[in-house]
Structure 1
Amino acid sequence: MKSIFIWLFITFACVPMAFSQTLSEAKELYLQGEYAKALPILEEEYKAKPEDANLNQWYGVCLLETGGDLKKAEECLIVASKKRIQESFLYLGQLYGQEYKFTQSEESFNKYEAGLKKKDEASRAKLDEKRKVMSRLRRMVSNTEDIQIIDSIIVDKAKFLSAYKLSLSSGKLEPFDKIFALAKHIDATVYTNEKGTKMYYAKPDKENLFSLYSKEKLFDDFGNEKKLSANNFGLSGDINYPYVMADGVTIYFAAKDEETLGGYDLFVSRYNMNTDTYLAPERLNMPFNSLFNDYMMAVDEEKGIGWFASDRYMPKGKVCIYTFVPNKVVKTIQSEDESYLAGRAKISSIKSTWQKNNNYKNLIALARQEAVVKVEVTHDFEFVINDNKTYYKMSDFKNRTAQSTYSKVVEMKSELKALSEKLEKLRADYSNASQDEKRRMSSDIYSLEKEVEQLQVGIPQMEIQARNQEIQAR
């Protein structure tokens, strides 16, 4: 019995020690910036002690830095700020900046700065960096484009191209894996122009850095692979999801860079035919870009519609495809209302982007309409038998004699074409020839003219013969 009491005593005595060690480890991870690793531990500790100001601070920061529940992060950081935990104001400023609440962001940063010691240069440098990010976001939100977003659809990331209903004149978009057979999955797309003569795509190099390439149609296959930009358009990260306008000059793509807002940003560039290079790319305005991944911009000029993809506020594995009406000229929203600008930049409501008295019903239906692929029927020839029947290939003939006769007609027409072209060239050369050459060429021209004349007379006669043979056999 005594041994049991000793065992129970040791067990319960170790519980707070284990709790302390776990919290200590989480705090150490937090201080090292390992927020993702610290988050699950701090979440459990927070559930046990939701009123603890320090836990609210640590848990709130981890949620913010890992892209978690921002509402919960704000709630926790406000609790910490009420207990005058200095760093809570710094992260509240960051959080409000990410939500485009810039007035509140600046107020929080000011409170953080007011509590700093004069010689605390490290904290001031940290504050300056976050203020720079906030100021940049503020400028971008103030330049939000006044774009009409008419529709949106949430789809699986793996099948997101299914939402792009391009007309035939706008080319086609396909997954990389459908076009190129590689051992591993490549998360990229391939754009092929309307005529099917050129394709644009992204692929990774040995360091797994994605760049853009093109290939041209050579006979039955594509070849002549070419990297679009030797310096990757001056960008430092992955470049992916290309789309080329019908002009063959304007290209949209998504890229990661030191200056991108969050993951992929959308860019546009133009090809300079004189230098065989692309101009420095321009980053698109909000709402096309955000603090999340924004990619695969495509504009269908025939439909007057564009699409782009974004994983903003989306659960893992899902993506939202926005449908919009492209502006002929970029027009930014003119407003001093911070809340309204924030909503337009984040696309809080697509209806807030609509123009008054505009009915988008037909445009939305057009955007969702699949392209109808016209099957072209190829004919070997066209031979009228009677008012109700026309033959287009040799197998249409029912009578073998008629078939044989018309086969000679086809040969004669081919010969007539070749002789006519030869005669035309001789006549063109005749005007620039010397007198001796003209005498020789005159004889050749006369002979060719006789042959052409005989064929021009003989072909209709043979056609009549073939037609009569076919009709009599029916």
Structure 2
Amino acid sequence: MKKFFALFFSLFIVFAIANAQVDKDFDKLKSAYLHIQNENYQEAYNYFKEVLNIYPKEPIYNYYVGRCLFFLDKDPMVSLKYLRFAATKEVPEDVYYFLGRAYLNNYQFDKALENLEWFKKRASKKQIRELELDNYISMAQNGLYLSKYVKKPLVYSKKKSQLDHFYENYIFDEQVGTFVDKFDFFSLTKDSVKEQSILFVPGLKTEHEVFYFSDINEKRGDYDIYRITRLSDTSWSEPENLGDIINTPFDENYPYLHADGTTLYFASKGHYGMGGYDLYRSSWNWDKQEWTEPENLDFPINSPFDDILFVPSPNKKTAFFASNREAVKPNIMVYKLKLSSAEPYIETKNHEELVELSKLMVNISAESEKGRVVSEKNKPDQYELVKLKGKESILYKTKYDSLLDLAIQHQLKADSLKWIIDEKRMVFENTKEGQERAKISTIIIELEREIYRLQKDADNCYAQVRQIEQANLASQKSIYEDGKKTEKSDKNETTEVPVKTNVFVEPVQDSIQKSYLLMVNEGDDEPFSDYGLRIEVLAIYHLKNSIPVNKILPEGIVYMIQLGVFSSEKNPEVFKGLTPLFCIKNDNSTNRKYFAGMFQYLAEAEKNLPIVKSKGFKDAFVVAFNSNKPIAIKEAVQLESVKNNPTQKVVNKNSIDHSKKENDLSIIYVLKGQINANDSMIVINSKANLPENTDLYFQKKNEESFFIIKPFLSYDEASIARTKLKDLIKSEIEIHAYFAENQIPLEQARKITK
């Protein structure tokens, strides 16, 4: 009897330990899943990597490990290894979202676009909104364009620094100024939730100093750029928002007004960019008293990561900026570049070349005075403040100098593009294949259009420079309003003598031979479709193919996105590659309405609306037409044909809603089998013999049909049901295990639920 009790007690202990281990394993699984939902990726990774070592071919654990590594490792190739494997199996559809973002970070913009658009077809409206899917699609499209032609960077140094005070590595001449934390400068209480805000303080204190900084827009909740004027040592003006040209509904931060008093550099997540914070510049338009449209500083200064605080030296020969492309919080990398407008643009060949360029490897020797930017030795009065009229900003250089700088920049960039065109024309002449010739001709047209724009901007600047020169010659006064010096004459009298200035002589411009090449479609290519919306890197609309006006629309309901109403015809470049485009103009009016995209269903139009808004058309909206006549959206929806739902569900009459139970963090078992048309009725009839808490689904993939019965709460329950069905159906029936709607190894599930 004692032996019996001893054996019984031993077995009891063994079962207790086994049950405790099972509970512990299940708790670990639930905990890891919750870590994923709460974005605690390091904790989740520790568990899923351990389980993946046991089940290396299990798709769901490859998916979770790849998803965690996407956020934990800066090298996208690490996460791509797992995500690519998982995508070939049955895992959550958002694997294509993470694949797209990983490809984006790896500069494979074409693959990023392919995966993101694939996921968008399967995503819900909630997923599209919460994951900001349309924004990432735009980033991939922009990346294709911005990385096509680039300048090879000249890098003096790269240094890892703490994010909290990285700007201390921006070392300039003391007279230029310093960067400080905004909260410290204004003696504000630091808020750990708020994003970092850096302020540039000029070295020479002057009356009515203007400071640029970033702060939260209380109406929208995003970060905007503001400026504020020091009225005295103790008082300030009200902060002034820089307006919609600079600020977007997304974040803008890290502003810096250059010493030329005209050029503003800043970082933005909302303008035309390739991901994260991109860097931009905008110039103050003296005539219109407004900022010009921000210009992206291009790859490889910009990347799909956060690139911030671009600060050129006063002579614009060197610059600092920071990026997290090679660093993880709390660190960031600070780069020092040599700026050279004379460097030609080169055409990139593949993504490996882009990855190499993005690393910004040090490739030129450091300056003799290490860590310092040698400032240009200007005349003492060259950076004196200029007295301006009305509401003009306080600037650090004269209008004459600023316009001259802009003119030279535009001219040099136009000249470098001419060099590329000459090279392309030589390639065109030696190319025989028609499709390739058409492709090259499109590139040449695009480059010529860009040269024309740059040359026009340069000519406008030169014209204003000449006006200032003529005005000063006529008045015999210096172009600097405050630029007078006192000199003593031979008679010891003090007289006002104008400061001599170097008058810029405009160089003789090279004539640009414009020979527009027409694209010839060869073979039986499909005609261009007006349906849908896409962003064309090489725009199809130009001088030879203008935007169609009053085009006859297809019969029935058609939706389009209205971009705006304009009083004159617009250059296609204004619409930033949006395709297709349409224009409607009434005979009795000069106003023109421009539209983008064409859709058969309202849902499709609404999905594409954020893409249009991300291109700068913030007031765009969806309109409807019926047989070429505008109608109300409500009326269009009533007339719109609704597609049948391809998924069928067969439910018992006495069944109840078990969705809440299925959404619990529990393990369930599912029966799945392939059937033909004759078997479907057998499965439906046999459903009466299955547990009441199960539902029957039919699913069609490609040309094959499947049935699914779920949920079973134990393996034994699912196994009994499979035996009953196998007596009726000849095809193989499989048992699968799921946790949180994701398939997990059957062996692991049985171990936990045993």
Q: Structure 1-normalised TM-score? A: 0.62
Q: Structure 1: which amino acid aligns with 2:213?
A: Y
3-state SS of 2:213 partner:
strand
In the aligned structure 2, how far is the partner of 1:132 from the partner of 1:244? 28
1:265–1:290 CA contact under 8 A, matched in 2? yes
Deviations 1:53-104 (A, max 9, x none): 3311232133225666634323323544677979667755553342124577
3-state SS of 1:241 partner:
strand
3-state SS of 1:218 partner:
coil
| Higher RCO (CA < 8 A, seq sep 6+) | 1
Q: 1:364 to 1:337 in 2, by over 3 A?
A: farther
3-state SS of 1:365 partner:
coil
Residue 324 of structure 1: how far off its partner (Å): 0.8
Q: 1:150 to 1:44 in 2, by over 3 A?
A: same
In the aligned structure 1, how far is the partner of 2:63 from the partner of 2:215? 42
Q: 1:330 to 1:55 in 2, by over 3 A?
A: same
Deviations 1:160-197 (A, max 9, x none): 12111112453332221331101225621111335323
1:305–1:367 CA contact under 8 A, matched in 2? no
In the aligned structure 2, how far is the partner of 1:35 from the partner of 1:259? 31
* Percent of paired sites with the same residue: 20
1:242–1:253 CA contact under 8 A, matched in 2? yes
In the aligned structure 2, how far is the partner of 1:109 from the partner of 1:178? 45
2:105–2:305 CA contact under 8 A, matched in 1? no
2:224–2:253 CA contact under 8 A, matched in 1? yes
Q: Check if 1:349 corresponds to 2:361.
A: yes
Q: Check if 1:292 corresponds to 2:305.
A: yes
3-state SS of 2:159 partner:
strand
Query: Pairwise mapping of residues 76-91 of structure 1 onto structure 2 (< 5 A)?
Result: 76-80=82-86
Q: What is the aligned partner in structure 1 of residue 243 from structure 2?
A: 230
Q: Check if 1:8 corresponds to 2:14.
A: yes
In the aligned structure 1, how far is the partner of 2:316 from the partner of 2:293? 29
Q: What is the aligned partner in structure 1 of residue 59 from structure 2?
A: 53
Identify which of 230, 255, 258 aligns with 1:245: 258
Q: 1:46 to 1:69 in 2, by over 3 A?
A: farther
Q: What is the aligned partner in structure 1 of residue 269 from structure 2?
A: 256
Q: Structure 2: which amino acid aligns with 1:196?
A: K
Deviations 1:424-460 (A, max 9, x none): xxxxxxxxxxxxxxxxxxxxxxxxxxxxxxxxxxxxx
Residue 365 of structure 1: how far off its partner (Å): 2.8
2:110–2:144 CA contact under 8 A, matched in 1? no
Q: 1:72 to 1:42 in 2, by over 3 A?
A: same
Q: Check if 1:138 corresponds to 2:147.
A: no
Identify which of 166, 173, 181 aligns with 2:179: 173
Residue 40 of structure 1: how far off its partner (Å): 4.7
Q: 1:315 to 1:248 in 2, by over 3 A?
A: same
1:35–1:65 CA contact under 8 A, matched in 2? no
Identify which of 328, 334, 358 aligns with 1:321: 334
Query: Pairwise mapping of residues 113-262 of structure 1 onto structure 2 (< 5 A)?
Result: 121-122=121-122, 133-185=139-191, 187-197=196-206, 198=209, 199-206=211-218, 209-221=222-234, 223-231=236-244, 233-257=246-270, 260-262=273-275
3-state SS of 1:268 partner:
strand
Q: 1:138 to 1:77 in 2, by over 3 A?
A: same
Q: 1:76 to 1:366 in 2, by over 3 A?
A: closer
Query: Pairwise mapping of residues 91-102 of structure 1 onto structure 2 (< 5 A)?
Result: 92=99, 94-101=101-108
In the aligned structure 1, how far is the partner of 2:151 from the partner of 2:235? 38
Q: 1:33 to 1:165 in 2, by over 3 A?
A: closer
In the aligned structure 1, how far is the partner of 2:124 from the partner of 2:362? 40
**Count of paired positions:** 356
Q: 1:320 to 1:82 in 2, by over 3 A?
A: same
1:142–1:341 CA contact under 8 A, matched in 2? no
Q: What is the aligned partner in structure 2 of residue 62 from structure 1?
A: 68
1:101–1:342 CA contact under 8 A, matched in 2? no
Q: Check if 1:281 corresponds to 2:294.
A: yes
Q: 1:305 to 1:191 in 2, by over 3 A?
A: same
3-state SS of 2:215 partner:
strand
In the aligned structure 2, how far is the partner of 1:252 from the partner of 1:362? 24
Q: 1:200 to 1:23 in 2, by over 3 A?
A: same
3-state SS of 1:350 partner:
coil
3-state SS of 1:177 partner:
helix
In the aligned structure 2, how far is the partner of 1:349 from the partner of 1:323? 11
Q: Structure 2: which amino acid aligns with 1:316?
A: K
In the aligned structure 1, how far is the partner of 2:176 from the partner of 2:139? 38
1:167–1:303 CA contact under 8 A, matched in 2? no
Residue 340 of structure 1: how far off its partner (Å): 1.9
Residue 236 of structure 1: how far off its partner (Å): 1.4
In the aligned structure 2, how far is the partner of 1:183 from the partner of 1:146? 43
1:215–1:224 CA contact under 8 A, matched in 2? yes
Q: Structure 1: which amino acid aligns with 2:82?
A: C
1:240–1:253 CA contact under 8 A, matched in 2? yes
In the aligned structure 1, how far is the partner of 2:276 from the partner of 2:202? 27
Q: 1:312 to 1:48 in 2, by over 3 A?
A: same
Q: 1:72 to 1:217 in 2, by over 3 A?
A: closer
Q: Structure 1: which amino acid aligns with 2:159?
A: I
3-state SS of 1:74 partner:
helix
In the aligned structure 1, how far is the partner of 2:232 from the partner of 2:64? 63
Q: 1:53 to 1:230 in 2, by over 3 A?
A: closer
Residue segments in structure 2 that go unaligned for 5+ positions in a row: 1-5, 377-754
Q: 1:314 to 1:272 in 2, by over 3 A?
A: same
- Root-mean-square deviation (CA, aligned residues, Å) is 4.1
Q: 1:246 to 1:60 in 2, by over 3 A?
A: same
Q: What is the aligned partner in structure 1 of residue 366 from structure 2?
A: 361
3-state SS of 2:190 partner:
coil
Q: What is the aligned partner in structure 2 of residue 466 from structure 1?
A: none
Query: Pairwise mapping of residues 306-455 of structure 1 onto structure 2 (< 5 A)?
Result: 306-328=319-341, 331-344=344-357, 346-351=358-363, 354=364, 360-362=365-367, 365=370, 367=372
3-state SS of 2:367 partner:
helix
Deviations 1:293-344 (A, max 9, x none): 1111111124721100111121321111111112336853333244223321
In the aligned structure 1, how far is the partner of 2:151 from the partner of 2:84? 33
In the aligned structure 1, how far is the partner of 2:80 from the partner of 2:122? 24
Q: Structure 2: which amino acid aligns with 1:317?
A: P
Q: Structure 2-normalised TM-score? A: 0.41
Higher-Rg structure is 1
In the aligned structure 1, how far is the partner of 2:66 from the partner of 2:215? 38
Which stretch of the first structure deviates more once superposed, 323-332 or 55-64? 323-332
Deviations 1:259-302 (A, max 9, x none): 65443221211223444432222222112211221111111124
2:245–2:291 CA contact under 8 A, matched in 1? no
Q: 1:328 to 1:172 in 2, by over 3 A?
A: farther
Residue segments in structure 1 that go unaligned for 5+ positions in a row: 355-359, 372-474
